[in-house]
Amino acid sequence: MKNIFRKGAALTLAAVTGMSAMPAVQAEEALVQPELVTRVKNMIEADGYQFKDLNGNGQVDPYEDWRLTPEERAEDLLGRMTAEQKAAQMVHLTLVSKKDSWFNEANVGFALVYEYIFDSARDAAQRTNEIQELSEASELGIPVIFSMDTEAGAAFVSDGTYLPDEINQGAANDAGLVAELNTVLKEELMAIGVRMALSPDADLMTDPRWGRNQECYSEDTEVVQNLIRAAVGALQGGSELSEDSVIATVKHFPGAGAQTDGVDGTPLTIQEDSLALHLAGFQAAIEAGAAAVMPYGYSTVPYLGGDAVENSADQSSAVMTDLLREEIGYTGLIQTDWGLNFAGAANAGADILGGAGVRATGELIEEVEEERLTDACRRILIAKFELGIFENPYVDEEAAAEIVGSDEHKAVAKKAASSSFTLVKYENAASLEGQKVVIAGELAQDVRALNSGWTAKEPVEIQGTSILEAVQEKAGAENVTYIATAQEVPADLTGVTALVVVGEKSGTHDPAWGAATLEFPQEQTDLVNALKEAGATVVAVVVMNRAYVLTPVAEAADSVLLVYRPGVTCGAEAVADALYGETAITGKLPFQIPRTMEQVENQREDLPKDIEDPLYEYGYGIDVTSFGAQS
């Protein structure tokens, strides 16, 4: 059954009579009937208004009464829940496949959509609607919150707009642009029924070896603070959750950039003189109203002492309770990273348990006091009431198809990519218009490398344009010669411009080259050198997830353009536009570029901007109005 009651005119409560079992409602308040949508449960009419009978008892209970505050409704609902139902609300399962009983019987609280909805936006919306229908059919009818890893945009939907990663956003350093990008993200997530973004990332880039630098804005605390505020405000539509919000989940508390030797999952090397720097972005996000914070699930924080010496941050009371709750004063949701020790995380202060399944509820009931379950569940329910999903958890499947991947959204993604590109060397550049060019390097054909690895995993295919294809489209395929390796380089390329694409393949926690090196592999430096020796004017296009040792490339190439992770959707087209002089190049380095690996090994993992005499300093970038144009 589908029952929809759409918004009506404003009515005053002066005309409303009392309802049995209803807390008092202020008579002077003006009410607007919200849009109610049911597919399973009945609608009840009382006092001239419509309500959803979510528990099927034939009367309007306080938690079903949209006139009450989220806090009042949550308190009533908590009083009707068993310990098992409270524990189930803390479960944040990974939705690779669907089992009906997880929702209509267990009534779990959260689901990470993952590959289960990797299809068209219309189909993705249909699948989330089907699961909300199952949740509505549960005993209490509590809706589920869907989440998505959103570092690269709504990238677990095949036709979503894949946005430039945060590393690009930091290079652009434009809070207004970050707000635009996160508005695009919010609109696409809401269109398919996803109300929780597992982003933005407030980590500070302090060790260039860490592979997740691509998910961070900057190694400058002020930049991180400014951009994180913009991201949170855009996702949530302000400092408080509403029916127009997507929950911003700020990661990875207390700052995961300080990995030992840059190896992900090792103890964080944060010390007394660096703690405030790493916390700065999180404090700014919390001040902006961030509804959720995610402590890091793979690293301990020895400096904080207590259980943070042995436990990862999302299993540590020293991190979550002592520092985040008590010292910083955070009152929102604590969402763990994806782990295994769910009872331990709950006892340490976590509210939502990433990677948990229905079986975890038994563990929680046995090992966690019900008072702690109630505390966590209260925050969860309040957030769900604030989001308005008790009234309407469903989305318009046809509208989703129009919103997701729209031309307007693609334009924002392309503008953001273009604004981020950073020119660190610019010599002998000539206009490419009307010229025959060489494009070289295996990454020139690699679409996935245009984003971090937070997209559907192989063998799932993602659709996008490679840099090679974008240049062929710009110049005409007949005017472009592709060369993969140094062995294929002709003996004489005098007078020819060679665009050589170098850098790392896409990845997440572990970078393709490993954490031990930031040096280009031999085959890439050999290719750059071969092109130069053949007489070409070499333009190095560097796809990068972290600060590489650029020295050999910068020495051999005439120009060096850093494009970072510009986005699968429009990143390659933006690169081609920049190379053909159609867009200005104005980005600035979000980190220092080391001259040697020795410099990297001598810097502290937990301090920003501490490489002495870098090849290029933080904030460096050559502004060019039109690449190759005569000055």
AA identity, residue 574 = A
Euclidean distance between CA atoms 608 and 148, whole angstroms: 30
Q: What does the H/E/C string look like for 452-518?
A: CCCCCCCCCCCCCCCHHHHHHHHHCHHHEEEECCHHHCCCCCCCCEEEEEEECCCCCCCCCCCCCCC
Task: Give ranges for CATH 3.20.20.300 in the chain.
Answer: 80-401
Provide CB contacts within 8 A for 365, sequence distance 6+: 83, 84, 87, 373
* Positions in the chain whose pLDDT score sits under 70: 1-29, 630-631
pLDDT at 3: 52
Q: CA 73, CA 63: separation in Å to the nearest integer?
A: 4
* Concatenated DSSP letters of 290-327: -SEEEE-SS-B-GGG-GGGTTSBGGG-HIIIIIIIIII
pLDDT at 631: 52
Question: Identity (one letter) of the amino acid at 511?
Answer: P
Closest Cα to residue 394, out of 47, 134, 98, 22?
134
- Choose among 159, 129, 171: nearest CA to 38: 129
pLDDT tens-digit series, residues 438-493? 999 999 999 999 999 999 888 888 999 999 999 999 999 999 999 999 999 999 99
pLDDT at 323: 98
Q: Indicate the burial class of 363 (C-beta count within 10 angstroms; 0-12, 13-18, 19 or more).
A: middle
Cα four-point dihedral sign 439, 442, 443, 447: positive
Tokens of 324: 């985040």
DSSP state letter for 383: H
Instruction: For residues 200 and 353, give the distance between their C-alpha atoms in angstroms, rounded to a whole number.
Output: 19
pLDDT at 29 (0 to 100): 61
Query: Between 3.40.50.300, 3.40.50.720, 3.20.20.300, 3.40.50.150, what CATH number should domain 80-401 receive?
Result: 3.20.20.300
How many angstroms separate the Cα of 39 from the Cα of each of 1, 60, 135, 141? 5, 18, 10, 11
Distances (CA, A) of 605 to 12, 278, 305, 469: 60, 12, 19, 39
- Contacts (Cβ under 8 Å, ≥6 apart) of 327: none
Q: What is the DSSP letter of 585?
A: B
CA distance 508 to 588: 24
Kindly report, as residue ranges, where domains of CATH 3.40.50.1700 are found in the chain: 421-602
CATH no. of 421-602: 3.40.50.1700
